[in-house]
Amino acid sequence: MDKYEAIIGLEIHAELMTKSKMFTGAPVVDSVEAEPNTAVSPLCLGMPGTLPVINKKAVEYALRVALALNCQINQDNIFARKNYFYPDLPKGYQISQYEEPIGVNGWLDVTVNDEMRRIRIRRVHMEEDTGKLTHVDDGTSLVDYNRAGVPLLEIVTEPDIHSGEEARAYAMKIRQILRYLGVNSGDMEKGVLRVEPNISIRPSGSAELGTRTELKNLNSFRVLADGTAYEIERQAKVLDAGDRVVQETRGWNEAKKRTFSQRVKEEAEDYRYFPEPDLPPLYISDEWIAAARAALPELPDAKAARYVNELDLSAYEAQVLAQERAVGEWFDTAVTAGGAPKSIAKWMINELFRLMNEHRQMIDRIQVTPQGLVELIALVDKGTINNNTAKDVLAEMFTSGQSPQEIVEAKGLAQISDEAALATAVTQILDDNPEMVARYLAGENKLRGWFVGQVMKATRGKANPGLVNQLLSQQLAER
Amino acid sequence: MSDLSRSDVEKIAYLARLELTEAEKALYQRQLSAILHYAERLNELELDDVPPTAHAISQQNVMREDVVETPLSMDDVLFNAPQTAQDQFVVQAILDE
């Protein structure tokens, strides 16, 4: 047993992909690409006389996430003011949910090292994002308010996580679900998804909680796993040396692969939350909840389980195809179009994904349609083309967008299954290579592959391999 | 409820970033205590069955559709800024206390 046990809770902030901001019509823009301060309304600047109005779509998105994370929905929602002075929000407060968040008591199952763990989710709440400060060397900061007021969801776990790998697995699954729901792009480098672990350790078996530190500015899942693991080690060394862990916020130094102190929290922050007087209460009706639940897509775990149980795919195939919603839906469409699920899965994973990688294309942009792949597989099954030709046809479909039938006809790729024609070709090869025939007849059986290869070459790869083998057997036996 | 202490007043002033003279601290200590005592009268009522009220108005679910409106022009955004650079507001870097 390890000397210490790590207790980790995760806070995830996810911007919601609405068109306009949480409480105003200013557009939501890519905060990395857009020119600064080009998506700002008077409300974003905290101008006197401005009033917030809730973006219904943002509530809808938050509701979907809360449901997908198995939360109980609070029907009476209250927004609160979280008061603090910092230039990232000119109002002097952030509108957030405090006492009555939209979702509570949820959970998510994650698999780490083949072991399933249930992570409880304490709350899911709506708030607004803050502006972006860029620190300049001369002691000033530049403030861009494009991001201020963008709808933001905060997802907080119970302290159920015990390692960096578990933290990563949970965060990746949250990202996958957010992407499935179409509410967040999951782009951590752009900061639309931010993961902050709270980490403490205690002697194994102890019931007391140790002092925790919070890690911020982790911009990838790998950094989340590495930073968390490092922090657990660091705290263990501190305790081993007889010192105490200081409650603080720490950052990650990627070059040195270690965490560093950013801000010591000596006393609890005092945000003086109170109900936002400018926003009347938000009531989420039973009907609204039912409609949102009905509109939820099939989620990745359910999809993968269905692929295994109903379509007989391997766990690996199911997991790969259910990874991204668009991929799963492409596969589902192909299955509906009448293809054998197992063949479709193999063709997608082995060939289509290779082509997509080669051409750096996402599945929703490719010219190959699910129907096209099903037709291609049918051509193979019928014996019109062989497997190798089919791979070339798929590559052609990928670049030209033509149907497999069109390509096979235009290029004369149809497999030669004409027995007389193939018999002639076989005879020719045997006649042209008497010494090889002699060696084969003398017992060099492995030369058989060479004969097949010669026939394929002579027919430009179009010969029906089964028929070639059969004819070779016949004719060699006669020599 | 007892009166607010001097240090309560100082903390509230600090959170609001207000600088108070000693005379003002005494004045606000008195006034804020009086306000709290006034609000305390609610405790005389039997309110166990009354849900907490966050708002006095009877409206609920005032929402807007997710429609984009034209943002402010750069001139308007930065109009009141004491100092600007690169189309952004310039503030003193806030260092950790």
pLDDT, tens digit only, all 97 positions of chain B = 678 999 999 999 998 889 999 999 999 999 999 999 999 998 899 988 888 888 888 888 999 999 999 999 999 999 999 999 999 999 998 765 4
Residues B6/B25, Cβ–Cβ less than 8 Å: yes
- What pLDDT, in 10s, does the model give residues A19-78? 999 999 999 999 889 999 999 999 999 999 999 999 999 999 999 999 999 999 999 999
User: Residue B64 and residue A56: Cβ atoms within 8 Å?
Assistant: yes
pLDDT band at A268 (very low <50, low <70, confident <90, very high): low
Among A37, A267, A273, A288, which would you mutate to test the B interface (most chain B Cβ atoms within 10 Å of its Cβ)?
A: A37
Position B58 in a domain: no
User: Of A25, A35, A83, which has the smallest distance from its Cβ to B67's Cβ?
Assistant: A25
CA–CA dist A225, A215 (Å, integer): 11
Rounded average pLDDT over A462-473: 84
Separation in Å, CA of B30 to nearest CA in chain A: 21
- Write the CA distances from B92 to A134, A272, A285, B78, integer angstroms: 11, 25, 46, 16
Residue A119, pLDDT score: 98
What is the per-residue pLDDT across A183-221, written as a single tens digit (0 to 9) for each?
A: 999 999 999 999 999 999 999 988 888 999 999 989 899
Residues of A in contact with B62 (CB under 8 A): 53-54, 279-280
β-sheet bridge partners, residue A195: A12
Contact A282 B60 (CB under 8 A): yes
Phi, psi of A115 (to 5 degrees): -115, 130
- Using CA atoms, how far residue A430 sits from A286, A347, B3, in Å, is 79, 36, 111
> Does the residue B38 lie in any domain?
yes
Q: Give me the pLDDT at residue A249, please.
A: 92
User: In this model, does residue A267 exceed pLDDT 80?
Assistant: no
Whether residue A80 contacts residue A274, with contact meaning beta carbons closer than 8 Å, is answered with: yes
Strand arrangement, sheet containing B84-85 = A132-135, A140-144, B88-92, B84-85
Rounded to whole angstroms, the Cα distance separating A180 from A298 reads: 9
Within 10 angstroms of residue A123's Cβ, the number of other Cβ atoms is 22
Which of A53, A89, A142, A269 should be substituted to probe chain B, the one whose Cβ sees the most B Cβ atoms within 10 Å? A142
With CB atoms and an 8 Å threshold, state whether B88 touches A37.
yes
Question: Is B55 within 8 Å of A20 when comparing Cβ atoms?
Answer: no
pLDDT in tens, A56-72: 999 999 999 999 999 99
Query: Which candidate, A344, A368, A346, places its Cα nearest to that of A356?
Result: A368
B77/A136 Cβ within 8 A: no
Asked if residue A479 has pLDDT above 80, the reply is no
**What is the number of residues in chain B?**
97
What do you get for the CA distance between the two ends of chain B, in Å? Answer: 33
> How much is the mean pLDDT over chain A?
93
Q: How many CA atoms lie within 13 A of A351 on its CB side?
A: 21
pLDDT digit string, tens, across residues A299-351: 999 999 999 999 999 999 999 999 999 999 999 999 999 989 999 999 999 99
Beta strand B84-85 with A132-135: parallel, antiparallel or unpaired? Answer: unpaired
Distance of CA A228 to the CA centre of its chain: 21
* Residue A329 pLDDT: 96
ipTM of this complex prediction, to 2 decimal places: 0.89
Supply A477's token pair. 């036996």
Residue in A41, A54, A134 nearest the CB of B69: A41
Q: Using an 8 Å Cβ cutoff, are A328 and A322 in contact?
A: yes
One-character DSSP codes across B54-90? S-SS-----EE-S---PPPPHHHHTTT-SSEETTEEE
What does the alpha-carbon distance between residue A438 and residue A21 come to, in Å, rounded to a whole number? 81
From chain B, the residues in CB contact with A85 under 8 A are 17
CATH number at residue B24: 1.10.20
Q: Which residue in chain A is spatially nearest to B84 when comparing CA positions?
A: A142
What pLDDT shows up at residue A32?
87
Measured between alpha carbons, how far is A47 from A91 in angstroms, rounded to an integer?
A: 8
Contact call for residues A362 and A356 (beta carbons, < 8 A): yes
Residue A299 DSSP class: P
Give dist(CA A16, CA A64) in Å, integer: 11
CA distances from B54 to A13, A180, A279, B51, B59 (A): 26, 35, 10, 9, 12
A116-to-A111, A309, A313 alpha-carbon distances in Å:
4, 19, 21
Name which of B65, B89, B92 to mutate to probe chain A: the one with the most chain A Cβ atoms within 10 A of its Cβ: B89
For residue A53, list chain B residues with Cβ-Cβ distance below 8 A: 62-64
List where CATH 1.10.10.410 sits in chain A: 419-477
Lookup result for tokens 């509230």 = B12
HEC readout, A10-78: EEEEEECCCCECCCCCCECCCCCCCCCCCCCCHHHHCCCCCCCCEEHHHHHHHHHHHHHCCCEECCEEC
Q: How many CB atoms lie within 10 A of CB A12?
A: 22
Whole-number Å distance between alpha carbons of B56 and B35: 19
Considering the domain boundaries, does residue B89 fall inside one?
Answer: no
| B14, amino acid identity | Y
Q: What is the number of other CB atoms lying within 10 angstroms of the CB of residue A245? A: 18
Residue B34 included in any domain: yes
Once rounded to an integer, what is the mean pLDDT over residues A364-374? 95
Q: Residue A316's CB: how many other CB atoms inside 10 A? A: 11
pLDDT of amino acid B54 = 80
Q: What SS3 state is found at A127?
A: strand
Alpha-carbon gap: B23 to the closest alpha carbon of chain A (Å): 25
Let me know if residue B81 belongs to a domain.
no
User: Which CATH architecture describes the domain A419-477?
Assistant: Orthogonal Bundle (1.10)
Q: What value does the CA radius of gyration of chain A take, rounded to a whole number of Å?
A: 31
A417, A415, A409, A407: which is closest to A388 by C-alpha?
A: A415
A171-200 as b/e: b if 16+ CB within 10 A:
bbbbbbbbbbbebbbbebeebbbbbbbbbb
Place of tokens 């907080």: A156
Query: Which B-chain residues 35-74 have CB contacts (< 8 A) with chain A?
Result: 54-55, 57, 59-69, 71-72, 74
Taking the C-alpha atoms of residue A26 and residue B68, their distance in angstroms, rounded to an integer, is: 6
pLDDT for position A421? 80
- Interatomic CA distance for residues A254 and A223, integer angstroms: 8
Decide: residue A258, CB within 10 A, 0-12 exposed, 13-18 middle, 19+ buried.
middle
Is B31 among the domain residues? yes
Structure tokens at A138: 């001369």
Give the phi and the psi of residue A262 in degrees, each rounded to 5: -110, -40
Predicted confidence (pLDDT) per residue in A372-414, tens digit: 999 999 999 988 888 888 999 999 999 999 999 889 888 777 7
- At residue A205, the pLDDT reads 87
Residue A36 sits at the chain B interface (C-beta within 8 Å): yes
Range of the domain at B29: 6-44
Mean pLDDT of A128-133: 96
B40 located within any domain:
yes
Q: Is B32 on the interface with A (CB under 8 A)?
A: no
